[in-house]
Structure 1
């Protein structure tokens, strides 16, 4: 579905990723784990073309490595960035419609917005209110819905639990799993809360100082005592 081969990324002269290769199957959720500064967010930004990077990115067989970020988005990659980055003065509706900017199937857009408002009723309740009025969890629901409205083939989620109360974290992760399973959407999930991430993921990858040190089935990671102690607290 998507293949990342020998990806290295740089911030000026500082190399942040070192020849990372991943192959992501359609309809699966992949967790990317690692300490702060390991290169997790850089990996997402490199896939989307937001940082200086080398290597190859293929989406459904097409080499998109030379495309700018907006064209990669048009090809079917969407991101929910850390901190949500909503347009705070825009209404919930206006933020949602930003996600449809590359679509012209107007009747289906309305159907999709209605469907998401059914999944997240607070969005319907606050539909005409500025997004700054939303709580952290509600804002994450809006950011996720905005990304989904672009009809992505690959969804990048960057630290969706940051700044949320535990009950909101559980709700967000549950909905991410349900929506992605239903839509057979491929998800690359960067998350500090390793236990929560692995609960909904099929596969996991671990980055250490920009280098991929583990890639495989979640059950394999959980059966490795060294990795379990390092990333799951030994439980």
Structure 2
């Protein structure tokens, strides 16, 4: 589905990614772990074309490395950014519809909007309320629903657990796993909460100083002593 080969990225003279190679299979969750400053968010920005890069990004076998960001989005990449970035004064419904801004099949959009409200009942219940009235966990579900309404092939999630209560983190991660499984959606999950991420992921990698330090199945990563000691509290 999406293949990254020797991807390097820089901000001026600062190199943030160093020859990263990753391969994400269709309909799977791929977790990217690492400390602050490891290059996780830069990886997502590079996939979207928001950073100066070298290397290759392929989507469905097609090289999209030189495409502008809006063209990559049209090809089927969506992102839920860290902090959600909702339009707080717009309603839940209006926020969701922003995800479909590039779609022309309006009748299908309305049908899929209802599907999202059915899948996330709290959004259906509060569809006419301002987004600022939602809790952190509800806001994260709204951001996820908004991205889904763009009908992506690949969904990028940037630190979805940030700022959430533990019970909300569990709900969000359970929903992410369900969406991938039921919709066949490929998800690239960038996350510091390694335990939660590895619980729902199929495959995973650890970034350190912009390079891939470890790469394995999520199960293999959970059993790797180095990963346990550095990211899973030693067990």
TM-score band, normalised by the shorter chain? Answer: over 0.9
| Secondary structure of the corresponding residue to residue 83 of structure 1 | coil
Q: 2:109 matched to 1:109? A: yes
Determine the structure 2 residue equivalent to 1:19: 19
User: Which residue of structure 2 lines up, in the alignment, with residue 149 of structure 1?
Assistant: 149
1:88 deviates by 1.3
More displaced stretch, 34-43 vs 220-229: 220-229
Aligned to 1:83: 83
Q: Secondary structure at the match of 2:207?
A: strand
Give the structure 2 partner of residue 61 of structure 1: 61
1:150-229 to structure 2, matched below 5 A, reads 150-229=150-229
Quote the Cα distance in structure 1 between the aligned partners of 2:53 and 2:175.
Answer: 32
Q: Partners of 2:152 and 2:224 in 1: how far apart?
A: 33
* Cα drift, residue 73 of structure 1: 0.4
Other-structure match for 2:36: 36
Tell me how far apart the structure 2 counterparts of residues 94 and 164 of structure 1 sit (CA, whole Å): 23
Q: Secondary structure at the match of 1:93?
A: helix
Instruction: Tell me which residue corresponds to 1:120.
Output: 120
Secondary structure in 2 aligned to 1:35? coil
Question: Where does structure 2 lack aligned partners over 5 or more consecutive residues?
Answer: none
SS across alignment from 2:122: helix
TM-superposed CA distance for 1:90, in Å, is 1.4
Q: Is the 8 A contact 2:7 2:19 kept in 1?
A: yes
Using structure 2 for the length normalisation, give the TM-score: 0.98
- Cα deviations by residue, 1:159-192 (Å, 9 ceiling, x for unpaired): 0010011111101111111111001111100111
Aligned partners of 2:198 and 2:219 also within 8 Å? no
User: Which stretches in structure 1 are left out of the alignment for 5+ residues?
Assistant: none
Tell me which moved more, 106-115 or 165-174: 106-115
For 1:87-119, what per-residue CA distance to the aligned partner results, in whole angstroms no more than 9, with x for missing partners? 112111111111011212222211111111112
**Structure 1 consecutive aligned stretches of length 4 or more whose deviation exceeds 6 Å:** none
